[in-house]
Structure 1
């Protein structure tokens, strides 16, 4: 039977996984954006492609490097959810 505590635990696990995946994929792009912004402020170069392209490349690189790990975490979470669902039914 699904109790409020169990439902809260499922939601917390899902949010934790989402935050972890977002952290791995977004933070490198954010750090790159800060570095590029500092460089642009120091040199007074305000080119839009200079701020967009490095963030895009770093985000794609992070996705390429961490993609296998992200897919693995998502598959483990999916298996865990189905296992918990089977235990709830009986």
Structure 2
């Protein structure tokens, strides 16, 4: 395996990781921003107020996008395993 092939596989892996984690990270970011704005407006500084909405949003995203995320990871893994004879 040449260094070029290794770098290409690593780049594909990183892009796949970004694509799979994006829905969860963006949802938690947006929920955190909304809760922070709510805390600034109402001057409520309760730590559980930031944690619980993020937790609920992340569970909802995992329930809704989880099958797609798993499908992406399984497809990448199986393609990589099938490519092993060509790469060696």
Consecutive unaligned residues of structure 2, counting only runs of 5 or more, are none
Aligned: 1:55 with 2:54: yes
Q: What's the counterpart of residue 40 of structure 1?
A: 39
**TM (normalized to structure 2)?**
0.94
Q: What's the counterpart of residue 15 of structure 1?
A: 14
Superposed CA RMSD in Å reads: 0.9
> Displacement, 1:88?
2.4
**TM (normalized to structure 1)?**
0.92
| Aligned equivalents of 1:55, 1:88: Cα separation in 2 | 42
Which portions of structure 1, spanning 4 or more consecutive aligned residues, are displaced by more than 6 angstroms? Answer: none
> Displacement, 1:46?
0.8
| Aligned equivalents of 2:24, 2:84: Cα separation in 1 | 29
| Aligned equivalents of 2:6, 2:17: Cα separation in 1 | 17
Q: What's the counterpart of residue 75 of structure 1?
A: 74
| Aligned equivalents of 1:28, 1:86: Cα separation in 2 | 39
